[in-house]
A and B are shown apart, each in its own frame.
Chain A
Amino acid sequence: MEPLYLARESRVHRLSPEVKIAAVLLFTIVVVVTPREDLTAFAGYTLLIALVAGLARVPAGWLLKRATIELPFVLLAVVLPFTGHGERVDWLGLSLSVDGLYGAWNIFAKGTLGVLASLLLAATTSMRDLILGLDRLRCPTVITQIMTFMLRYIDVLIDDARRMRIARLSRGYDPRFLWQVKAFAVGVGALFLRSYERGERVYLAMLSRGYSGRMPSGSGSKAPAAEWVVSSALPVAAAGIAVAAAVLA
């Protein structure tokens, strides 16, 4: 299962997963702690994202389309200018709260930048590499192990679910409302058992080949220092922008 992975040849793709995870994490932290009034800083961050997207050869359209995942939160933000308190401004005949406008901007800007950064990570790193990266970042084995099986099972579930859904649809039934949940759940129980038994066999086969809870890291080795330096450019640049914006303001 590689929902968002874009198989391309690029410098960003070639970076080790652990340095990319760390860079995105630090970048997001810088974005979140930036005061909402520092509009120039947010413009700078957007530029950085565009730069990385260019380096990674990820098309802007692809990014923007998938960024709509945060739409519910943007909608939450839309009401703020109307419900906010304090000083108000008039715009196109609407009375809007200044504080509410900043609140909305805050959610929109930070949410969007965070989503874009994560999307870039997902686009340039396969799921398996992400797990490897987390493992190298000292994520507990229990978690990476659950993740590994989760990936394997998602494929199994999707396969089984597709078959069951086709069978259900061909009988003219497509439950999607809460009160139809019972019928849906019955199918889900069966799906669960089927998938478990298949996954159990997969697991036994893995054990038989010497699996002991940790995926062998295979070809890749730990990220060289140079990669850490290169990838730190993103959060360092972001931090620079944040400081510069604060100083200018």
Chain B
Amino acid sequence: MTAALKITGLTFAYPDGREALHGVDLTLAPGERVALLGPNGAGKTTLVLHLNGILHGGAGRVEISGLPVTPGDRKAITEIRRRVGVVFQDPDDQLFMPTVAEDVAFGPANLGVRGDELDHRVTEALTAVGMLEHRDQIPHHLSFGQRRRVAVATVLAMRPEILVLDEPSSNLDPASRRELAEIIMSLPVTVLMVTHDLPYALELCPRSVILDAGRIVADAPTGELLADGDRMAAHRLELPFGFDPSAIHRR
């Protein structure tokens, strides 16, 4: 079976010489949900921006369902950006159109989807995140949790094969956090979730990898990884006070 995501030997350095990725290898099977953990500055965001060809220029290779990310090839890059849906950390960076529906339509419209099909995509995506009744509202009038859900919908409307979520639970109140978890679990896509929220990773992702100093330094079932206190401490990962991963029964 073709891997949903296959990264081999990826390196990258920023123009100022700072090295951000140091030879990353990572493979995700279709339908897998994987958490990408790591301290600040580990290169997580840099890695995410490589998945859809926004950053490139170093060594190594990224493949999405067998299609290599080739930044020079406009057509291939459009297809890559359809396959990889990135939900950025701050929904305000993602939402910029005057209404929720138009924002959700932006992605598929860039892919050339028009008319009834476009409408259908918008409805489908908003239904998936439970925001259909807000379709004509102004994004900035929604609550933060609602905006994050719309941000997820803007990406779902492109019918991605991989959903990449950057800190999906940050700034969410507990109820919004749970609602978003339910939405993510209900989606039939491969998920790569960048997060500092370890309980959230445990709840949503059977597998976790740790990125530190530009390398994947651990790759294991999430419960096992979180229970390995020494390894966690070595990479500046800390569980919330009183949280015991072994006490949680995975659903």
Known: A128-B98, A201-B88. A210 touches B93 (CB 8 A): no
B98: nearest chain-A partner, CB-CB: A128
A152 to B98, CA, bound (A): 11
B81 at interface (Cβ–Cβ under 8 A)? yes
6 sampled A-B residue pairs with Cβ under 8 A: A198-B93, A201-B88, A208-B88, A210-B107, A216-B109, A218-B105
- What 4 A-B pairs come out closest when comparing CB atoms? A216-B109, A210-B110, A209-B107, A201-B93
CB atoms of A202 and B158 under 8 A apart: no
CA distance A216 to B98 in the complex (A): 14
Evaluate contact between A210 and B54: CB separation under 8 angstroms. Answer: no
Dominant SS at the B interface? Answer: helix
List the count of A-B residue pairs having beta carbons below 8 Å apart. Answer: 57
Judge whether B52 and A216 touch: CB under 8 Å: no
B215 smallest CB distance to A (angstroms): 24
Instruction: Assess the A209–B155 pair: CB atoms within 8 A.
Output: yes
Which residues on the B side are within 8 Å of A216 (C-beta)?
A: 105-106, 109-110
Contact with B along A190-234 (1 / 0, CB 8 A): 000000001001101111111110001110000000000000000
B90 at the interface (CB under 8 A from A): yes
Of B52, B96, B102, B109, the residue contacting A208 (CB under 8 A) is B52
| CA of A205 to CA of B81, assembled, Å | 11
- CB contacts under 8 Å to A, within B154-202, are 154-155, 158
**Do residues B90 and A201 form an inter-chain contact, with CB atoms below 8 A?**
yes
Q: Which residues of A contact B220 (CB under 8 A)?
A: none
Indicate which residue in A205, A217, A218 contacts B88 across the interface (CB closer than 8 Å).
Answer: A205
Asked if residues B93 and A209 are in contact (CB atoms below 8 Å), the reply is no
Shortest distance between the CB of A155 and any CB in chain B (Å): 8
What residues of A have a CB within 8 angstroms of the CB of B85 in the complex?
A: 208
Residues of A within 8 A of B154 (CB): 209
Q: Is B82's beta carbon under 8 Å from chain A?
A: yes
Set of chain B residues within 8 Å of A210, measured between Cβ atoms:
78, 81-82, 107, 110-111, 158
Residues of B within 8 Å of A201, CB to CB, are 88, 90, 93
